[in-house]
Amino acid sequence: GKTAGKDSKQGKPTYVSALGVARAHELAEELRAEAHAALAGLGARAARLASLADFVVLRKF
């Protein structure tokens, strides 16, 4: 993977630089909710995908 802040140091656009931290977090949560809604009809078969969405959005590192 890349080191933290690499895109910022190179002037590359990111969701955070375009939207700000708060809005980027809000958007990530909205998309996580959409993913869960889309997967709801699949039941247990979609549990891993739902968990992946949670991991990506809720991770703390």
Structure token pair of residue 31: 């998309």
pTM for the whole thing? Answer: 0.78
Summarize pLDDT for 4-50 with one digit per residue, the tens. 888 888 889 988 899 999 999 999 999 999 999 999 999 999 999 99
Measured distance CA(29)–CA(16) in Å, rounded: 14
Contact 22, 14 (CB under 8 A): no
